[in-house]
Structure 1
């Protein structure tokens, strides 16, 4: 619960307590979100990001940055789950250090919630499931989507990959030991059969597995829900569907990128900069140089400026 709901639940009427409980969110996703706000806040004046980096540098010899869960980024919660598991005791120790250095000797509300989450068996179970999904599905999937020719792979050619992905998830649902057995290896437990993105995540999950009685059940439930969603997301690729029945020539003519990386490039950076500082101006030489970087030509830049003016 956040601070207000916690107060309502403990000192309010039964109706207020019930509403506060119903409106509150828990679990691994919530913990990863709170951990991101605490260990890597998007506002560098808030949070404990600098102290976290120094703490990890002293403990591990490296200056570490927590996964960016404050922005909507693919896989960020799976990455955060894996990170919290790999360095679970370090994060517990760090929070205790933060608490003990205060004159009050107390956690604030967010710190207390994160600390409780890092000791909560059901939440740790969910963290393990998220971390396993990230290592076995998310990273291998994106490696294949990008492929050896990053940016040149045709989105319309991904049908076989999606069928293989769904078949893999069905195997995990039928036999979760594919991922949970101590002898499991990336050759059989990963979607693409290639080395784990972060092997330490699998080691950490296996070390915790004996203390998490519902890990197998949670893993099967998560993969079942994920498979249902993948079926919905990839309906256009099903055998016999429109994409599957297109000829190779037609797929080539209708080529589509596999990711939206083009929207995250120089043009996206320029749009963000202009949105943050709408009165920013630049001279003509810089305008020409920017148009060259964006690959849209001076005329295209003028059209961009015109559209910007119309938006304002």
Structure 2
């Protein structure tokens, strides 16, 4: 469109008219003649006119050199560096959680919400779990990130009416000598989980004594479930190990990374820094002692190589004091940094890959173009809107935008110096009244309501389709379980579709009997189960897995009749939408 407009503006009047008249005549003919054209609406005619300009632009584009065409069609997506770091931490935390199972180590203690805690309260280590207990155990959270989340709910809740808030601040000021503000985990600030982990590690003894103090200060001494979970977490060795790793990553990677991208604002010129980060993370994987050794040097232990600041030294000293109690610290560091590096390299630095659009750019182009390294401009505006709504609930979006733009652009100064005549001010007031009377805000609300209603209809349609699909799948499994193939000969004779159904029958049976999921092994017990569907691409891969499943079926003493009864009961319940989701709540304050 822009190329077409520029081409027309560069033509002299005669050539411009000749071009447009010729193309317009062909277009009217394509619509069926003048009579058909006259019947079109104004919007349709405007769209057709725009198409002519686009056609001219395409002719200009086709005449360009290939290199110039590539410049015009280049699409570069970089993303926000703050989100990149956040997702690297998520990738690291996930890898660290998987490490405990993979190495058969004792994982962090379960930090169940109130409902699940009641279900799990009387469990003994060797006792057989019923379905409710299994479900409660599966969905309950654990680990360093959840511990920092609980800390945020207690010490700096986004709802100022909840948690300890001022009591915590006063206690720390009294016992340490200055205020220790807990990082804003409750509002998911960038780097807040790492900062919170570091704060907990450095002041762990004070947190423990504070939790005891608030427990005993109540009219009826005791702990809420959240308070109990937090106290338990910061005494648990595996959870402390995860907190130490989060703290180390925060001071050595996240803080210097975020500092660098904020001071080097053009992300197009950060390729060298991104490569440096990937190399640095690999050095920690190869030698975790760079973080966990007796002497942690800033030259090799910090991403930017700068000297440790006072806070970082406090964190390192606190971890050093705990190190002897944390036998799995090195393994946890390796797992976390591997997960963070894989996330960073494979997903969040893809824009710098060899042969990509940024790689093809010249130094001159890199200097000319500017892509912000963060999304602060947008998120800052959204944050201002949210705070503005809290202070002025009746303010419309139009009014907020006008006020925000006026302040940002220094419009008041422009008015004072340029709009000095009375007629100017009368015009502004008339225009403002016209906007107020235009019903803009009402139209915006109606558009939002219509969009919500459309989304509701679409979601209901999709849910109906999902329900029909679930019912169809359940019916297929109910038929397949009646004809379970339990011998190698029967399995070898199965067609591919029947083979898939047999695998699904055994998957559901094992899920009910062993509480495993659809991975290669149950995350809690290590018992082998049927692989994911995506890991079995063809019949040759499916047959051996079905034979293994049948062998496990016989080893458990299962019978065809028992399996038939089990699946009938489970699948009929699922078809009716009767699955129990009681223990999936994320609200630990229930």
Same fold at TM > 0.5: yes
Q: Quick check: 1:33–1:69 contact (8 Å CA) kept in 2?
A: yes
Tell me how far apart the structure 1 counterparts of residues 295 and 122 of structure 2 sit (CA, whole Å): 51
**Secondary structure of 1:70's aligned partner:** helix
Q: Quick check: 1:266–1:293 contact (8 Å CA) kept in 2?
A: no
1:81-92 aligned at under 5 Å gives the runs: 81-92=197-208
1:122-271 aligned at under 5 Å gives the runs: 122-147=238-263, 153-197=265-309, 198=311, 199-232=313-346, 233-265=348-380, 268-270=383-385
Tell me how far apart the structure 2 counterparts of residues 309 and 60 of structure 1 sit (CA, whole Å): 56
Tell me how far apart the structure 1 counterparts of residues 254 and 193 of structure 2 sit (CA, whole Å): 11
Question: Which stretches in structure 1 are left out of the alignment for 5+ residues?
Answer: none
Distance 1:281 1:143, change over 3 A: closer
Structure 2 length normalisation: TM-score?
A: 0.48
1:54-69 aligned at under 5 Å gives the runs: 54-69=170-185
Distance 1:271 1:3, change over 3 A: closer
Shift of 1:276: 7.4
Q: Quick check: 1:236–1:242 contact (8 Å CA) kept in 2?
A: yes
Tell me how far apart the structure 2 counterparts of residues 228 and 92 of structure 1 sit (CA, whole Å): 36
Shift of 1:267: 6.3
Answering whether residue 221 of structure 2 is matched by residue 105 of structure 1, we say: yes
RMSD: 2.8
**Aligned match of 1:5:** 116
Shift of 1:277: 4.7
Distance 1:113 1:260, change over 3 A: same
**Aligned match of 2:232:** 116
Distance 1:241 1:17, change over 3 A: same
**Aligned match of 1:46:** 162
Q: Quick check: 2:396–2:441 contact (8 Å CA) kept in 1?
A: no
Tell me how far apart the structure 2 counterparts of residues 51 and 220 of structure 1 sit (CA, whole Å): 38
**Secondary structure of 1:265's aligned partner:** helix
Question: Which stretches in structure 2 are left out of the alignment for 5+ residues?
Answer: 1-111, 124-128, 413-427, 449-590
Distance 1:41 1:177, change over 3 A: same
Tell me how far apart the structure 2 counterparts of residues 34 and 154 of structure 1 sit (CA, whole Å): 36
Greater mean alpha carbon deviation, residues 229-238 or residues 26-35: 229-238
Q: Quick check: 1:170–1:227 contact (8 Å CA) kept in 2?
A: yes
Q: Quick check: 2:278–2:341 contact (8 Å CA) kept in 1?
A: yes
Distance 1:306 1:189, change over 3 A: farther
Shift of 1:241: 2.4
How many residues were matched structurally? 304
Q: 1:42-90: CA deviations, max 9, x gaps? A: 1111101111000011011212211000112211100000000000000
Shift of 1:180: 1.1
Shift of 1:158: 1.0
Greater mean alpha carbon deviation, residues 62-71 or residues 286-295: 286-295
Q: Quick check: 2:116–2:136 contact (8 Å CA) kept in 1?
A: yes
Tell me how far apart the structure 1 counterparts of residues 244 and 144 of structure 2 sit (CA, whole Å): 9
In terms of Rg, which structure is larger? 2
